Chain A
Amino acid sequence: MREADPGRRQAQGDVAALAGTIERAAGDLALAEEPSNFAVVLEAAAPRD
C-alpha cells in the first residue's frame, strides 16, 4: 500500500482538529438551530427607519 503524501496527511490532520472543535462547540446547539437562521438574525437586527 502506498503511503499518503505528507501534504495530504497534514490536510487530514488539520481537518480532524477542525472537526473536533466544531463538534464540541455544536454539542449544546438548540435542536431548532439551522444554517438559514443566520439570515434571520441579520434581518431581525436591521435598523427600522
Chain B
Amino acid sequence: MTELTLTGLASSIARREISAVEATRACLDRIARLDGSLRAFVTIDGDGALARARALDADLAAGRRRGPLHGVPLAYKDLCHVRGLPTSCGTKTAEYFTSEVECTAVARLTAAGAITLGKLNMTELALGPFGDNPHHGDVDNPRKSGHVAGGSSSGSGAAVAAGLAYGALGSDTGGSIRLPAACCGIVGVKATYGRVSRAGAMPLSWSLDHLGPMTRTVRDAAVMLEIVAGHDPHDATSSHHPVGALVSSLDRSPAGLRVALPENYYFDGVTPEVRAAVEEAARVLGALGVGVKTLRLPDPAILHDVANVLARSESAAIHARVVRDRPHELGAAVRSRLEVGFHISAHDYLQAGRLRARLAREFVAEVFAETDAVLAPSIPEPPPSLADVTAGPVDEIVRRMGRFSRLTRPFNALGLPAVALPCGVLADGRPLGLQIVGGPFDEATVLRLAHAYEQATDWHRRRP
C-alpha cells in the first residue's frame, strides 16, 4: 500500500477501496520497521494519527469528504508548529519553537483531510545541506546507506523516498527542499517567495525562507502546493497573486514552451554523470516539442554574497539567544555560521537588500525574455558519503556546505519557483537531480515541464 502515490491513495480512499486507518497503519508499520536506521522522524504521533484516521473514515462513511487529501498520511519538518506536538527545529531543546498560530501550510493540509503522522528530522536550525544532526541522529539516505540524505529537510526527503509518508513539508532557505529531494530521488518544490505562507514555521532568514511540498511525483507535489499556496494574513510577505489551477494544467502538452541550459556557472565543477543527465533531460523535453537553447545567465557570484549577508544577519538576529546563552548546545559548524552574522553591519545588510531588488529585476528581464524556464542540476555530484563530508576542521566543512548548495542558493535570493526532480540513477542506487526554474509566480509552467519530463522517463518509479 505504501507503494501508492499520494494521489493514488487519495483516489483509493475516496472510492473506499482502502480506509484511512489501513493507510495510516501501513505507514506506522513501515516507520516501525525502517526508521530505526533511517532516523527520519523526531516525533511519531501514532495514537493521534489513528484517531484522526478513524474519524475521517467515519466522515467518509457518512458521505463527508473533507478535501482532496481525505485520509492521506503526511509528515512535517520539525520546524512547523503543529498543535499538540513539540517543535525542536533539530536542536537539543525539545520545544525550541512555539507559535501563536499553527503552521498555516499544515493547517491547510489538515483542512484538506490529511493525517499527521509526526514530525521529521532536520539539520540543526535548518543550517546545513547534508542531513547530519548531533541531537536526533544523522538521517540516512534510503537510496544508498551511509550517504548524504540532503538537508536541511533531510527527514522529509528520506521519509517520502522510503514510503514512510505519502508526502511531507520541507523548508528551503538556500536549497533545503531541493537538496534532499535530489539526494533521495524525489520531487521537491520551492515556489515563488511569498507564494506559500511561512506563518507558524521557525524562521531562519525571513527574506529567503520558503515552505513547500516533497513527494514522490510531480502530480503529488502540485496537489499539495495547490492546497498550501495562496495569501495568508498571518504572513506579512504572503502574496495576493492568485494560485491558479496547478493540477489541471499538468497534462497540457509542453510543446511550444522554451527552456534554457545555462552556459555559465551551473555546470562548472559538476561531475560528468550529472552534466550528462541534465543535458539528456533537455533532449527529452526537446523531443516533446519544447524549444531548447543555451543561455548565458547573469553572474550569480554577487547573488551568493547578497544571500550570505541577508541569511547570516537574519539568522543571527533570530537565533541570538541560543548562540549567546547556550552555545555549547549547538554543533560547531552551526554555531560558526550563526556567529558570522553578529559581525555584519546594518549598512551592509541594507545594501544587500537593495542590491537584491536590482539583481532580481535584471535577471527576470534578461532571462525570461529568452526562455520560459532554466534547467540546471540540483546538486553538483551524486550524494557523497556522509562521513567524508562531515570530517575535518569546521572551516573546511562549512566550505563543503557552500559548494554542495551553490546551485540552489541563487534562486532563493531571486525568489523564483523551482522544482527539483530525479533525472538519473547510478548503478549503486544514488540518484541524480535536476531543477527546473521559472519566472515569478509561474509555478504552473515549471510543474508542467517537470510532469512532462517525469512521464517521459521512469526515474520516479525506481524505489529504494
Contact = CB atoms under 8 A, between A and B. Distances in A.
Does B bind A?
A: yes
Interface string B26-64: 000000000000000000000000000000000000000
Contacts of A41: 357, 360-361, 364, 440
Task: Provide the main secondary structure of the chain A interface.
Answer: helix
Contacts of B241: 43, 46
A38 B343 contact: no
B344 interface: yes
Given A46-B441, A49-B242, A12 B343 contact: yes
A7 B192 contact: no
Contacts of B343: 11-12, 15
B348 A22 contact: yes
B351 A26 contact: yes
Given A19-B348, A29-B354, A39-B193, 20 more contacts: A7-B339, A7-B395, A11-B343, A15-B343, A18-B305, A21-B302, A21-B305, A22-B305, A22-B348, A22-B351, A25-B302, A26-B354, A26-B355, A30-B358, A35-B350, A38-B193, A42-B193, A42-B194, A45-B440, A46-B241
Given A23-B348, A42-B360, A47 B305 contact: no
B355 A46 contact: no
Interface residues of B, number: 42
Interface in B352-371: 352-358, 360-361, 364, 368
A33 B336 contact: no
Interface of B: 192-194, 207, 237, 239, 241-242, 244, 302, 305-306, 308-309, 336, 339-340, 343-345, 348, 350-358, 360-361, 364, 368, 394-395, 415, 439-442, 444
A-B pairs, 7 with minimum CB distance: A35-B353, A37-B357, A46-B441, A42-B440, A26-B351, A15-B343, A38-B357
A45 B63 CA distance: 43
Contacts of B364: 41-42, 45
A45 B417 CA distance: 13
A23 to B, nearest CB: 7
Contacts of A26: 351-352, 354-355
15 contacts: A10-B395, A11-B336, A11-B339, A15-B343, A21-B302, A23-B348, A26-B355, A34-B357, A35-B354, A35-B357, A37-B358, A41-B364, A42-B239, A43-B241, A45-B441
